[in-house]
Chain A
Amino acid sequence: MEILNFIRENFDQALFLTWEHIWIVFLSLFIAMITGIPTGIAITRNEALAKKVLNTANILMTIPSIAMFGIMLPVLAPMGWGLGKVPAVIALVLYSELPIIRNTYIAIKNVDPALVDAGRGLGLTRWRLLKEVEIPLAIPVILAGLRTAAVMNIGIGAIAAYIGAGGLGVFIQQGIARSYEAMIITGALGVSLLAIMVDSLMALLERGLTSQGLKIQGRQ
């Protein structure tokens, strides 16, 4: 009851923070996608490089988010970006790279070598083969990586409120500071609902973008 009252009274702010949260998460996801997918594809041609890239991304992901924001503070402060949305987006991009690069790499690697051989033998260029065969076949796994990254980012995005990035984490952070339970729960519920919704949307997208032929194959 108390929560509903809180939401009613602070509806505009709740809406704004939700919007802010979505914005931060999707901007970072977009940046991670346009850098991570090509990287994931590129490293399938170079085993040694693949190992290095995946290890680096792995290490980045093990850094706790609070520590990551802490590290970024002195690095970005000289440019005046120590606090706010910039370090938040950068951190989220770094966290998203691993699931995206790793899934892209694995998905492309897992394309049946016979298909690649047949495609090359027919005279497809490397690029054409990627576009017509390898990427369409890898899409489900690549999207699964994006989905993981998106859900994870929504959670980490809540912590970014501590460095002044805004978003639903603001309710949680201020609620804790003021021991205001309804405020904390509103923030927490918002973040959770957002994560669940994005997860379902990405699942739909995954289904929509998967070739009919692969779905039939999956059913058999």
Chain B
Amino acid sequence: MIEYKNVKKVYGDGETAVTAVNDVSFKIAQGEIVVFLGPSGCGKTTLLRMTNKLESISGGTISVGGRNIREIDPVRLRRSMGYVIQQIGLFPNKTIFDNIAMVPRVLKWDRARIKERVGKLMELVKLDPELYSSRYPVELSGGQQQRIGVARALAADPDILLMDEPFGAIDPINRDKIQDEFMRLQARLKKTIAFVSHDIHEAIKMADKIAIFRGGRLVQYDTPEVILTQPKNKFVSDFVGADRALKVLNLIRARDAMNKNPKNILRADTPCPEAMKFFSEKSRTSAIVIRDDKPIGYVTPRLVKFEEGPVSDVAEPYQVFVEDDEPLRDVLSSMLMDSMTTYPVVDENGSFKGSITYQNIQKKILELYEDDTD
């Protein structure tokens, strides 16, 4: 756990003094990712660098695990935290192995333990130790280098990670991938992470909580959902963007918006005339066809009209299945592209969980914004 209490950072003195961080107080809970977000010069990076004493503290206190860091030797403090920076900073004169082994060596671990640890970390960040251990940083791509940067930071298994725009220099496609990988890693490791970013998309994707800074002050500290749906002031709403409703769609999973007990489902062996009756009685225009708990397609009155056999014979297969953890943004995008109005939602085994329509999505968004007016 990291706690900031009235933290202040002033550069210079007298008339030329510049306050980079001004009276900032908040807590980062154990196992959470908090993204420090804001425009450049807002003090987010300074605050991060104060956390491992790369910058001195002008006022207030920062405590880590309940201890005031003023009382901890900087070198020891830093060894208890991982540090990842945008420029990656792998040592070009050392092999990948030696880069990762840096901190364990400083801590005087024995050889066998270091070797085992480095191998494990490389597998964790999905780089084959056999293939990459003896290579040099310059032989790796930017994305691979930053994976090693993360592995190096995790080497001595610190509880805390400080990350300063770690994925900022990586091209957009690989950035998305490395972010996903990092989130999977974090789901297992549960580190306490302070993460500096100026990218609202990244913040929404990664953060348990977002701390928005402006001119050295903390403007709002909340979960991404609350930041998007209830921005505290114009600065925050401008910063998160006019399309914040669309951004919220990234945060909500299909399972949160879907209809769990849809009425318009038909078993695969339902005869077509019966389906026709179902359509006219319930005045439905389509139905999902289910066989053995799995959706196999859909039927419409036009498809079953004049048919005699089971609906499975005439069902149109779905081009896209929505997985229950898919963000609503992707679901909506599929709907727009395929001009489909209803999708079945499945879990990772392909079992039917519910259905999702445009109305479901809209209803969910409205629900969130209703809190706004309270």
Contacts and interface: CB of A to CB of B under 8 A. Distances in A.
A67 interface: no
Interface string A128-141: 10001100110000
Contacts of A132: 91, 94, 102
Interface string B53-78: 01000000000000000000001111
A211 B92 CA distance: 9
A137 B85 contact: no
Contacts of A119: 89, 91
Interface stretch (B135-143, B185-193, B351-359): B135-143
Nearest to A217: B138
A120 B153 CA distance: 12
A21 B48 CA distance: 58
A119 B139 CA distance: 20
Given A118-B85, A121-B52, A213 B75 contact: no
Nearest to A118: B89
A124 B93 CA distance: 16
B91 A115 contact: yes
A137 B91 CA distance: 9
A213 B83 contact: no
B79 to A, nearest CB: 3
A49 B293 CA distance: 79
A21 B91 CA distance: 41
Contacts of A112: 87, 89
Which range contains the number of B residues in contact with the other chain? 20 to 34
B202 to A, nearest CB: 20
B87 A121 contact: no
B103 interface: yes
Contacts of A62: none
A213 B98 CA distance: 12
B250 interface: no
Interface string A176-220: 000000000000000000000000000000000001111011001
Contacts of A211: 92-94
A214 B93 contact: yes
A114 interface: yes
Contact of A133 (B52, B85, B91): B91
A133 B92 CA distance: 8
26 contacts: A112-B89, A114-B89, A115-B89, A117-B85, A117-B87, A118-B149, A119-B89, A121-B78, A123-B75, A123-B76, A123-B103, A124-B75, A132-B94, A132-B102, A133-B91, A211-B92, A211-B94, A212-B136, A213-B92, A213-B93, A213-B94, A213-B137, A214-B92, A216-B136, A216-B139, A217-B138
Given A212-B136, A213-B92, 15 more contacts: A114-B89, A115-B92, A117-B89, A118-B83, A118-B87, A120-B78, A122-B78, A122-B79, A122-B153, A125-B75, A128-B106, A211-B92, A213-B94, A216-B136, A217-B92
Interface of A: 112, 114-115, 117-125, 128, 132-133, 136-137, 211-214, 216-217, 220
